[in-house]
Amino acid sequence: MARFEGKVVLVTGGNRNTGLDIVEKFCREGGRVYMCGSTPESTAKGAAALASRGCPGVRSMPCDVSDLEQVKALFDVIEKEAGRLDILVNNAAHQGIGKPFVEMDPAYLTEVLGVNVRGGFQVTQQAVNRFFLKQPERGVVVFLSSNTAMRAIRNRTAYCASKGAINAMVRAVALDLAPLGIRVNACAPGYIYTERWDVLPEEKKARRRLNCPLRHEASGEDIANVVAFLASSDSSNITGEIVTCDAGCSCQHMPEDVDV
Ligand SMILES: NC(=O)c1ccc[n+]([C@@H]2O[C@H](COP(=O)([O-])OP(=O)(O)OC[C@H]3O[C@@H](n4cnc5c(N)ncnc54)[C@H](OP(=O)(O)O)[C@@H]3O)[C@@H](O)[C@H]2O)c1
């Protein structure tokens, strides 16, 4: 039997890049998958991409996770159509790119936290209250964090702060929900190959790969494998954990070419 046969799965931000690979993973392993992008256009584009990858059964619906009314509407649809939810993957993220701290409007910080922290919070709360607590088999939550929660990158204060908050939130929510039989964990990626890598010059890709002790960034599939592990019964004794998947970047002080 496929690992996620009979499981209903929701992947937020499942319409492009890593989210698509996560959706495909659950789909290929038997899950009944729901996914959302933030807008009707981006969600429809994702649905078409999934169909062309051979995952036609995925149900897509736009939902801005920072907007509680849209989140409730998404859960209304899942409740009506599937009547249950077993796995939630909080993958949606505002990348908070290109705003140096000295120039950043504080409202931008609120915007990024609104998607990454409040979004993950309210989607998780809906999943727990509307489904997991009512089901004998409960459910499991996986967040996408980032190794930048632990080691910052430049000009990304809002994003790094949001991922640090996600790590703290994962531990706190995991503690509250553990006695109720619900597990909450995170995968913290480093570099992932996405469409943002496609436009990089080859020298920059090579330099980034030299930053990786394993000499290669993660593929979306690498990340999907970790997410699937955390969502499966193979990790049934793990909760409140942040699993780093970053080619060893976090364990090194300096990349090899500048090491002493
Ligand atoms: N890429 C990396 O190198 C890297 C490294 C570390 C951690 N991560 C984390 O891994 C996850 C996937 O990364 P990625 O690079 O594949 O992400 P990405 O390319 O930036 O895609 C972000 C996804 O989130 C969705 N999204 C953004 N705002 C949303 C909102 N308000 N409501 C609902 N959905 C929203 C986007 O949908 P739209 O298309 O509608 O915008 C998109 O599907 C993220 O959590 C990211 O922070 C990525």
At 4, which helix (H) or strand (E)? none
Q: Is 74 exposed, middle or buried (0-12, 13-18, 19+ CB in 10 A)?
A: buried
- At residue 211, φ and ψ (nearest 5 deg) are -70, -20
Mutate to test the pocket of ligand 1, among 38, 42, 122 (most ligand atoms within 8 A of CB): 38
The answer as to whether 257 is a domain residue is: no
Cβ of 45 less than 6 Å from ligand 1: no
Q: What is the mean pLDDT of residues 77-82?
A: 98
Q: Residue 174: which domain range?
A: 8-248
pLDDT digits (tens, 9 = 90+) for 222-241: 999 999 999 999 999 999 99
For ligand 1, atom 36, which residue shows the shortest CA distance? 13
For the chain, the distance separating the N- and C-terminal CA atoms, rounded to the nearest angstrom, is: 52
Q: What is the mean pLDDT of residues 215-228?
A: 98
The answer as to whether 60 is a domain residue is: yes
In order of 96, 156, 216, 226, the CA distances from 230 in angstroms are 26, 27, 23, 6
Domain count, the chain: 1
The answer as to whether 209 is a domain residue is: yes
108 is catalytic: no
pLDDT digits (tens, 9 = 90+) for 105-145: 999 999 999 999 999 999 999 999 999 999 999 999 999 99
For residue 36, give the CATH number of its domain: 3.40.50.720
The answer as to whether 113 is a domain residue is: yes
Q: Which residues of 109-138 are buried (b: 16+ CB within 10 A; e: fewer)?
A: beebbbbbbbbbbbbbebbbebbbeeeeeb
Cβ of 120 less than 6 Å from ligand 1: no
- At residue 88, φ and ψ (nearest 5 deg) are -115, 130
Q: Which atom of ligand 1 is nearest to 116's Cα?
A: 45
Report the predicted TM-score, pTM, of the whole model to 2 decimal places. Answer: 0.98
Going by C-alpha positions, the residue among 188, 195, 159, 163 that lies closest to residue 46 is 195
Whether the predicted pLDDT of 171 surpasses 90: yes
For ligand 1, atom 32, which residue shows the shortest CA distance? 64
> In the prediction, which pLDDT does 95 show?
98
pLDDT digits (tens, 9 = 90+) for 2-33: 999 999 999 999 999 999 999 999 999 999 99
